[in-house]
Structure 1
Amino acid sequence: MAAVDDLQFEGAEMDTNNSCGAERVDSHPMREFGDAATSAANPGTTTIHIEGPSESPTHQPGLPRGSGGEEDDELLGNDDSDKTELLAGQKKSSPFWTFEYYQTFFDVDTYQVFDRIKGSLLPIPGKNFVRLYIRSNPDLYGPFWICATLVFAIAISGNLSNFLIHLGEKTYHYVPEFRKVSIAATIIYAYAWLVPLALWGFLMWRNSKVMNIVSYSFLEIVCVYGYSLFIYIPTAVLWIIPQKAVRWILVMIALGISGSVLAMTFWPAVREDNRRIALATIGMIVLLHTLLSVGCLAYFFDAPEMDHLPTTTVAPNQTVGTAK
């Protein structure tokens, strides 16, 4: 019996020396088969598995996430916002006096502009316009050309409307009113830049007092206001129709669409604030938008043309005859 044990011990030493001296590559199935065979042959032995650095567990249980957080992220736009800001911070920014600095504000393709215009025409309740369309790449290309197109649409449509209203009058002589272009440009661009600037300053001031969830940059607010004005371009063209009832119906439709885009976009930014302040902020945004649309309609289309009213002239030497 002792001789048999000595032979087994020597055989084990020889196998150990051979395995250390030669390189071998064995796969996981073969190693598991060998371990199983060894365990079956020697029930009393203990097998120790040492995993390499490339071996990792195939399953890791994930942390549960509540449905309420997903709904808030979907509405407020917090999902992927940190990643977007991190990627934006990694971009190399050029000095503001260089052309490359302003070129980044116009780095947008046609499909993105059309998509943002479509989003401004079809607002989705419960969806954030900034998160869906603007935050990935805010631009000034769309707002600039939308405002420029709106300026010429209002000025030209106002002149055509005035011409159609007085068409057929013998005492009327059509004179193009080029001053309407400059007046429309002043109104539209002042609204599209000064109102977002005031709103951005107000939101920054309130965020310093109340730790808010949503924050918008000045460029994002300008984008929202610029794209929300697109609905007024076809509306201004239809204002040529010389019917006041039709014009007011059109302005109410345009005001409802564009005003809902602004209200649904900025409500998440103020809803964590005081209730009265939040409602007053949204009310002021809608009120200023209403004043813009109603003011443009009243001034450029419904204003009485005093310069072209017929006047009666009396000759200086004309005498009035009396009836006998």
Structure 2
Amino acid sequence: MSRAGYDAVVDVDDEGDLGHTDLQEDLEFHPSNFSETAPALGTSSTRHNKTSPGRSSPFLPPPATASTSGGGSSKKFLWSLSFYQQFFDVDTTSVLRRCGAALFPRTNFLDVLEGNPDLYGPFWIATTVVLILFLGGTISDYLARSGKGEFAYDFRLLSGAAGLIYGYTFIVPMVLFLALRYFGSESANLLECWALYGYNNLIWIPVALISWSPIAILNWVFVGVGFGLSVAFLLRNLYPVLSATGHQTSKMLLVFVVALHFGLAVAIKVLFFAHGSPALKDGPGKDKPEGQQLF
């Protein structure tokens, strides 16, 4: 038999006399589990309601204070590497899933981020776009000058691509975020803006790979398709945030987003996939600048 204990329940009559109690009728035995222990002294349910050090701030997450095993605190200061490490806390599977959601959007991209926007994907996507724009622009210029003597490539195309893409990816979202905060949007988040614009740059990789053709109209078509897909992605995900600022303000911000993105598309076409690009300093009739190398 098991050695489980029992609780005794005694019925007491109105006079409080136990002498006439029939144990067979008035005593009921119930199984009891004495393995259950009372909560430790000082334990409270409010312990589980403490706010986790998540990214609740709409701007950069505050320097989080995490408890250490020794009971102390470890602060992440702005000048420490651990402060910026939290912005790259993402694995390869998550980055690939976000890239797929940017190219083939089926739902709101902010939902795909699951409250954990990162800078890892935006940084490497922007870097890849910079390199491909440089290579694509160089190939386009080479095809345009084929048979016209020696060809020299210019690394100023690379610096121009870096300034254009990095500036658009990280400065424009910051300006948009500050405008949203100024007009009273409480849901604006700088990291989410950076992630949205960063992953949106992914469309320019296939565009840059196919836009080096010497046929100018074909390049315009490719860039136009890239602009249409990317601006639709931006508007779909930014509209719920922009609409919280009021009708007139949201319209103004939408025009701002579309105009800047159109400017990016035109700059990509004119600077990197147009023959006689103003980004190149060695146009016809000019001497080859020093520092250029033969292709």
**TM more than 0.5:** yes
Aligned to 2:175: 198
Q: Using the TM superposition, give the Cα deviation of residue 283 of structure 1 relative to its aligned residue in structure 2, in angstroms.
A: 1.5
Aligned to 2:219: 247
Aligned with 2:27 (options 1, 19, 32): 19
Aligned with 2:98 (options 103, 116, 122): 116
Amino acid at match of 1:25: H
Amino acid at match of 2:163: T
Aligned to 1:177: 154
**CA deviation vs aligned residue, 1:265-301 (integer Å, no higher than 9, x gap):** 1111121333222112112101101101111111122
* Residues 310/200 of structure 1: CA separation in 2 closer, same or farther (3 Å cut): closer
User: C-alpha root-mean-square deviation of aligned residues, in Å?
Assistant: 2.9
Amino acid at match of 1:15: L
Paired with 2:151 and 2:263, the residues of 1 have a C-alpha distance of 29
Aligned to 1:99: 81
Aligned to 1:296: 268
Paired with 2:275 and 2:174, the residues of 1 have a C-alpha distance of 30
Q: Give the greater-gyration-radius structure (CA).
A: 1
Amino acid at match of 2:249: I
Aligned to 1:68: none
* Residues 286/308 of structure 1: CA separation in 2 closer, same or farther (3 Å cut): closer
Paired with 2:209 and 2:160, the residues of 1 have a C-alpha distance of 18
Number of equivalenced pairs? 235
**CA deviation vs aligned residue, 1:203-251 (integer Å, no higher than 9, x gap):** 11111xxxx5x61211110000000011101111111122112111111
Paired with 1:279 and 1:231, the residues of 2 have a C-alpha distance of 25
**CA deviation vs aligned residue, 1:96-129 (integer Å, no higher than 9, x gap):** 22111111111111111111111111223xx421
Aligned to 2:198: 226
Aligned to 2:70: none
Aligned to 2:284: 309
Counting helix residues as a fraction of each chain, which structure ranks higher? 1
Aligned to 1:186: 163
Paired with 2:52 and 2:256, the residues of 1 have a C-alpha distance of 29
The secondary structure found in structure 2 opposite 1:216 is coil
Q: Are 2:104 and 1:129 equivalent residues in the alignment? A: no
Retained in 2: the 8 A contact 1:120–1:228?
Answer: yes
Amino acid at match of 1:280: M
Paired with 1:85 and 1:260, the residues of 2 have a C-alpha distance of 35
> What percent of counterpart residues are identical?
30
Q: Using the TM superposition, give the Cα deviation of residue 86 of structure 1 relative to its aligned residue in structure 2, in angstroms.
A: 7.3
Amino acid at match of 1:233: I
* Residues 150/137 of structure 1: CA separation in 2 closer, same or farther (3 Å cut): same
Paired with 2:137 and 2:161, the residues of 1 have a C-alpha distance of 10
* Residues 204/167 of structure 1: CA separation in 2 closer, same or farther (3 Å cut): same
Aligned to 1:258: 230
Amino acid at match of 2:253: T
Q: Are 2:249 and 1:277 equivalent residues in the alignment? A: yes
Aligned to 1:5: none
Paired with 1:87 and 1:254, the residues of 2 have a C-alpha distance of 35
Amino acid at match of 1:206: F
Unaligned runs of 5+ in 2: 1-16, 33-50, 57-63, 67-74, 287-295
Amino acid at match of 2:245: D
* Residues 308/99 of structure 1: CA separation in 2 closer, same or farther (3 Å cut): closer
Q: Using the TM superposition, give the Cα deviation of residue 168 of structure 1 relative to its aligned residue in structure 2, in angstroms.
A: 2.4
Amino acid at match of 1:266: L
**CA deviation vs aligned residue, 1:290-318 (integer Å, no higher than 9, x gap):** 1011111111221426835369xxxxxxx
**CA deviation vs aligned residue, 1:52-92 (integer Å, no higher than 9, x gap):** xxxxxxxxxxxxxxxxxxxxxxxxxxxxxxxx987546873
The secondary structure found in structure 2 opposite 1:25 is strand
